[in-house]
Structure 1
Amino acid sequence: MVVLNVLDYSPIDEGQTSVVALKQTTELAQLAEELGFKRFWVAEHHKVESVAGSTPEMLMMHLATSTKTIRIGSGGVMLPHYSAYKVAENFRMLEALHPGRIDLGIGRSRSYRNVNAALNESKTKRLPYDQQITDLQKYFSDDTKSEHRFQSLVAMPMINTAPEMWLLGTGLGSAKLAAEKGMSYAYAHFAKPSGQSVDVVNAYRAEFQPSVFLQEPKVILAVFAVVAETAEKAEKLATAFDLWLLFIESDSPPPYYPSAETARKRGFTASEQEKVNRNRRRMLIGTAEQVKEQIEDLAERFRADEVTVIPNISGAANRMKALRLLTSVFDLTGK
């Protein structure tokens, strides 16, 4: 049985606003809970004007309060920009208020040059990524006995539970780091669906070292999914997704997620079509039954414990419909 999760970017649909997009994310999280999805994660994107998801911790607090049982998480916090101590306290507060429901997914996206500069303006040096992860684990375990540069420091508030920690990645380096630190691993298949992907996840499993947080390796596979009632409608929605990906890779992307009608009227140049064809390898497209088959195939090949669906589809109603269609073919009662 496949366990399904959702990751939402809070896309700003054509003609809508950031405020509306965040309200739609809340409604999508509530629907995901109602339908039986296990987790609902939100992203950290900077300088992408067509998505409203920039500060996952803040949005997570609202979503956790707006739901009751579904796990709420970050997909993810870009750790190199921040103090591990502050991240630990943010997520301890979330966990204290919503015990047993908080996930901390961390990554190290490099983003735009001026975004990096603005987020790190006052820093004289950066800590190694693996050191920051070690720091997080220290703060979440209340370890004041092991040698550490802040040995006596603990993260507040003091609680008896900890958020689940997930390392996000696409390559061997992140897989080996997750294995070394005894962390769960979320492989971003939607970002890098290469022929070596399975090898990366297999390396994580083979090299996994148990920690106080996790005794056995655990893998999430994250995929872009465009699901609709018919294959024809799914293709139309996928064309809007094609255009959005081209927009965000361009020098002056518009501040919205285009509609399927806009994508149909605009069309693609020959060079753009080449990019579209490459990007299509990152998506699962079709009816619920067709996408289910693709998800089950990937889950089996990767031996994934869970699959996270990113329904980055034009139109809030279409995103909600995609979740409903998936639950019509997947049994999520045993999540």
Structure 2
Amino acid sequence: MISLNILDYSPIDEGVNSRGALLQTTELAKLAEDLGYKRFWVAEHHQVFSVAGSTPEMLMMHLASSTDTIRIGSGGVMLPHYSSFKVAENFRMLEALHPNRIDLGIGRSPSYRIVNKALNEEKGKRPSYEQQVTDLQKYFTDDTGEDHRYSSLIATPVIKTTPEMWVLGTGSGSAQIAADNGTAYAYAHFAKPSDTGVEIIANYRKHFHRSALLEKPNVMLAVFVVVAETAEEAEEIAKAFDLWLLFVESSHQPPYYPSIQTAKNRGLSSVEKEKVEKNRKRMIVGNPQQVKKEIERLSDLYQADEITIIPNVPGFQNRQRAIQFLAEALGLKSNK
């Protein structure tokens, strides 16, 4: 049976504010736990006014305290903006309070130029991303080997368990970093579906080096899903998702996630229609059985160990129903 996870952006629906969106994320995490999902991750987005998820560590602490067994993680922390040492201490603190339940997913998305500038203002020369990943591994394993520039430095609190560490990416570079450092790898199919994805993952497995963090390669595939009771209903929801993606990729994004009705009322230009057609390759749309079939096809194609769905659709009820439909279709074991 496929291990199924969720990545949630905390979308702000029309008529809902940021606090409301974060409380909905909390309820969705509780439901995911009851339904038998393995992981519930939250994202880091800056200058995207239609989602409330900007600081995953803070939200993770709340979610972990609001649930009991589901793994809580970041999808992900954009590591180049931060100190590896501080990230390690943040996640050790989370793991200390919620042992064997914390995942650190890391990425290196450059974000908007103004965001990158604000997060890195007046910083001097920074270590490479590859070095930062190696540093995290050092801090998570209490390695005091003399060959590290901070050899005697220990991340606190010192604990007996370790957060799971995942490198997120869409290309061969991130996969090689994960392989070299012996971490799990999450392929973001939703961000950049590519014909080379199968080869990227195969190379990760081939070149994986066993580490103190992970004995054998572990692959997660992340996909956008739009699922409803019928294919027709899913298509209506998907049109609002299409519009949201257009907004996010433009310089004129509203501070909310567009509703189905808003999408119906708004026409698309010929250029926008071309973008929508391209974006549709990033998502799975359909009824539960159709989406299940495509998830299973992608899982087999990529030889994925886990699938993470991103049910970033308008309307909290639609998000609840989406994860319920897939839990039932894929035979997840309920924790109720």
TM beyond 0.5 = yes
Q: Report the CA distance between 1:145 and its aligned residue.
A: 2.7
SS in 1 for 2:191: coil
Q: Which residue of 2 aligns with 1:128?
A: 128
Q: Which residue of 1 aligns with 2:154?
A: 154
Q: Which residue of 2 aligns with 1:290?
A: 290
Q: Which residue of 1 aligns with 2:31?
A: 31
Unaligned runs of 5+ in 2: none
Question: What is the percentage of aligned positions where both structures have the same residue?
Answer: 65
Q: Which residue of 1 aligns with 2:15?
A: 15
Paired amino acid for 2:32 = A
Q: Which residue of 1 aligns with 2:166?
A: 166
The answer on whether the counterparts of 2:178 and 2:185 sit within 8 Å (CA) in structure 1 is yes
1:43 aligns with 2:71: no
Q: Report the CA distance between 1:334 and its aligned residue.
A: 9.2
SS in 2 for 1:214: coil
Q: Report the CA distance between 1:324 and its aligned residue.
A: 0.6
Q: Report the CA distance between 1:170 and its aligned residue.
A: 0.1
Paired amino acid for 1:35 = L
Unaligned runs of 5+ in 1: none
Q: Which residue of 2 aligns with 1:191?
A: 191
Q: Which residue of 1 aligns with 2:179?
A: 179
Q: Which residue of 2 aligns with 1:232?
A: 232
Once residues 258 and 17 of structure 1 are traced to their aligned partners in structure 2, the CA distance between those partners, rounded to angstroms, is 13
For residues 132-187 of structure 1, the C-alpha deviation after alignment (integer angstroms, 9 at most, x for no partner) is: 11111111111113421111110000101110000000001111111111110000
Q: Which residue of 2 aligns with 1:105?
A: 105
For residues 203-224 of structure 1, the C-alpha deviation after alignment (integer angstroms, 9 at most, x for no partner) is: 1111111111111100000000
Once residues 124 and 46 of structure 1 are traced to their aligned partners in structure 2, the CA distance between those partners, rounded to angstroms, is 22
Q: Please show how residues 316-327 of structure 1 align to structure 2 within 5 Å.
A: 316-327=316-327
1:90 aligns with 2:99: no
Once residues 334 and 161 of structure 1 are traced to their aligned partners in structure 2, the CA distance between those partners, rounded to angstroms, is 26
Q: Normalized against structure 1, the TM-score is what?
A: 0.99
Q: Pairwise CA RMSD of aligned residues?
A: 1.0
1:61 aligns with 2:65: no
SS in 1 for 2:148: coil
Once residues 146 and 320 of structure 1 are traced to their aligned partners in structure 2, the CA distance between those partners, rounded to angstroms, is 51
SS in 2 for 1:178: helix
Q: Normalized against structure 2, the TM-score is what?
A: 0.98
Paired amino acid for 1:75 = G
Structure 1 runs of 4+ off > 4 angstroms? none
SS in 2 for 1:232: helix
Once residues 334 and 212 of structure 1 are traced to their aligned partners in structure 2, the CA distance between those partners, rounded to angstroms, is 32
Once residues 285 and 151 of structure 2 are traced to their aligned partners in structure 1, the CA distance between those partners, rounded to angstroms, is 50
Once residues 176 and 334 of structure 1 are traced to their aligned partners in structure 2, the CA distance between those partners, rounded to angstroms, is 36
The answer on whether the counterparts of 2:34 and 2:334 sit within 8 Å (CA) in structure 1 is no
Paired amino acid for 1:126 = R
Q: Which residue of 2 aligns with 1:71?
A: 71
The answer on whether the counterparts of 2:10 and 2:24 sit within 8 Å (CA) in structure 1 is yes
SS in 2 for 1:308: strand
Identify if the C-alpha distance between structure 1 residues 195 and 334 changes in structure 2 by more than 3 Å, giving closer, same or farther: farther
1:273 aligns with 2:273: yes
The answer on whether the counterparts of 2:292 and 2:329 sit within 8 Å (CA) in structure 1 is yes
Once residues 334 and 227 of structure 1 are traced to their aligned partners in structure 2, the CA distance between those partners, rounded to angstroms, is 20
Once residues 69 and 109 of structure 2 are traced to their aligned partners in structure 1, the CA distance between those partners, rounded to angstroms, is 30
For residues 284-319 of structure 1, the C-alpha deviation after alignment (integer angstroms, 9 at most, x for no partner) is: 000010000000000000000000000000000100
The answer on whether the counterparts of 2:3 and 2:306 sit within 8 Å (CA) in structure 1 is yes
